Amino acid sequence: MSTSPAGATLVSGTASFQFVRFTEDHVPAVKAFNSSLHNAGLQLTYLESPLGRHPRTESSPVYDESFLVLDGNEMCGGYHLKHQQFSVQGKIEDCGFLQFPVSKGLIEKSYRTVGILLPRDALRRSPMLLITGAGGVGQPLPRLLKASGWTTYEVPFFFKVVNSGAFLANLTFLRHRHKYRLLLDALRYSGIGWMGAQALRLFESRLDATVQNSVVPRFGDWTDAIWHSCQAEYSFSAVRDSRTLNTLFPPSEPRYIRLRFDRGSKTIGWALVLDTQMSGHKQFGSMRVGSIVDCLAAAKDVPAVVGAATAFLQKRNVDLIVSNQSGEKWCDALRRFGFRRGPSNSALCLSPKLSAAINASNESLTTFHINRGDGDVPTNL
């Protein structure tokens, strides 16, 4: 994997901004930039270490780079670029994730053009570029990219209510409005919400009784066998072998729960899930939220994997289970096990070169495999 030279000067209007690779010498400027954002009331923090979450080594399949935009000696923007391998129509390609593009234009009008320059600079360094998340397709960055010739999609969001009482009590984005709060409380205290949730479960698919799950401490060789056996089924997917997964989801991180699913002597798939007690979360309030973050299986085994992962989280007494999945097989399996689709804050944006390589269309994501495990990993779950 390689990038173009680190330094570049771009002119916008009457201002000249220099793009440089983040080094230790820039740490004071980054801290001053973060302070200016915080003083303006923004809850944003640019990572203050040039090493990133995944430092570059000779053996690492994933590594980060950080670039700053300088106006003289002052930082006025920056972004992270995560390098990772993807399977694009069966061919392994080096792609780049544009992450956390932020500019001082959020608080000072004179720097608004910096936000436009950030993806241009990233594209110069990594033409096969993508973005996930970004608040959803309707947010400014995805709209800007679409106008610039990128292809944008919504990555569907699904949720399953396990504890209806906790769910109705913690829908914070609705409860701040008086009329919705009264309705939610009526559903909660009357028992109608509970009865509705129970009725929906009557239509769920049955679990595959031949599948057993086990919690494992790390992704092993069995992960590689699954990846190589089903890679061709997905037109676009991050490489999901053991080396990559153990880098993205290190065994030293206790919050990641790795589930291995076996049918007899054969491993058919895996899922990485979280079980998180929220506190004052802007969407989930104080619910205990289970999440199916990442997963992989051949198409014929997807329902078994989704059902087993869901059952595992339900047995842990979570209040709600959520997942973002792009592929048609995965979305259909979630529906079969009682998930409902909700508003998504996750977009997938593909650069023109990457979109052309996939031969992507805006009609569907049927054979893509993109989920919450891609991009900036699940930092808010």
Bridge partner residues of 272 (DSSP): 258, 294
* pLDDT computed for residue 176 by the predictor: 58
* Higher pLDDT pick, 7 / 51: 51
Is the domain of 324 the same as that of 199? yes
Over residues 203-208, mean pLDDT: 77
- Alpha carbons 246 and 90: distance in angstroms, whole number: 22
208 in any annotated domain: yes
Instruction: Kindly list the distances between the CA atom of residue 124 and the CA atoms of 42, 71, 251, 261, in Å, as whole numbers in the listed order.
Output: 29, 20, 34, 42
Q: What is the pLDDT of residues 296-318, one digit of tens each?
A: 999 999 999 999 999 999 999 99
Question: What is the domain count for the chain?
Answer: 2
Read off the pLDDT of each residue in 270-294 and give the average, rounded to a whole number: 92
Same domain membership, residue 334 and residue 186: yes
Identify whether residues 175 and 58 lie together within a single domain.
no
* CATH of residue 170: 3.40.630.30
- Mean pLDDT over each residue of the chain, to the nearest integer: 87
Which residues lie closer than 8 Å to 288 by C-beta, 6 or more apart?
Answer: 166, 275, 276, 277, 278, 317, 318, 319, 320
> Model confidence over 75-91: pLDDT tens digits?
999 999 999 999 999 99
Is 141 a member of any domain? no
Of the pLDDT bands very low, low, confident and very high (cuts 50, 70, 90), residue 208 is confident
- pLDDT score recorded for residue 188: 60
Q: What is the mean pLDDT of residues 258-276?
A: 97
Range of the structural domain that residue 249 is part of: 157-342
Could you tell me if residue 216 is inside a domain?
yes
The answer, as to whether pTM is greater than 0.95, is: no
Spatial distance between the Cα atoms of 149 and 188, rounded to a whole number of angstroms: 47
201: confidence class by pLDDT, cuts 50, 70, 90: low
Q: What is the pLDDT of residue 313?
A: 97
For residue 154, list its beta bridge partners.
347
- The mean per-residue pLDDT over the stretch 49-67 comes to 87
Give a yes or no: residue 218 inside a domain. Answer: yes
- DSSP annotation string for 78-133: EEEEEEEEEEETTEEEEEEEEEEEEEGGGT-GGGTTHHHHHHHHHHHH-SSEEEEE
DSSP symbol at 363: T
pLDDT tens, residue by residue, 90-140: 999 999 999 999 999 999 998 989 988 999 999 999 999 999 988 899 998
Per-residue pLDDT at 365 exceeds 90: no
pLDDT at residue 379, as a whole number: 59
Q: Are residues 165 and 276 in the same domain?
A: yes
Confidence (pLDDT) at 5? 46
CB within 8 A of 364, min separation 6: which ones? 328
> How sure is the predictor about 211, in pLDDT bands with cuts at 50, 70 and 90?
very high
367 within domain boundaries? no
Q: How far apart are CA 36 and CA 30, in angstroms?
A: 10
pLDDT band with cut points at 50, 70 and 90 for residue 2: very low
- Is 102 in the same domain as 234? no
Structural domain contains residue 14: yes
Does some domain include residue 136? no
Q: What is the pLDDT of residues 235-246, one digit of tens each?
A: 999 999 999 999
**171: Cβ–Cβ under 8 A, 6 or more apart, which residues?**
180, 184, 285
- Do both 215 and 90 map to the same domain? no
Tokens encoding 364? 């569907």
φ and ψ at residue 96, rounded to 5 degrees: -125, 135
Residue 198 is encoded by which pair of tokens? 């129970």
Instruction: Report percent pLDDT > 90 for the chain.
Output: 68
Q: What pLDDT does 165 receive?
A: 79
**Rg for the chain (alpha carbons), in Å?**
22
Residues 283, 274: Cα–Cα separation, whole Å: 17
- Considering only 49-53, 180-184, 346-350, which range has the smallest mean pLDDT? 180-184
Residue 7: pLDDT band (50, 70, 90) is low
The contacts of residue 215 (CB under 8 Å, 6+ apart) are 257, 258, 259, 260
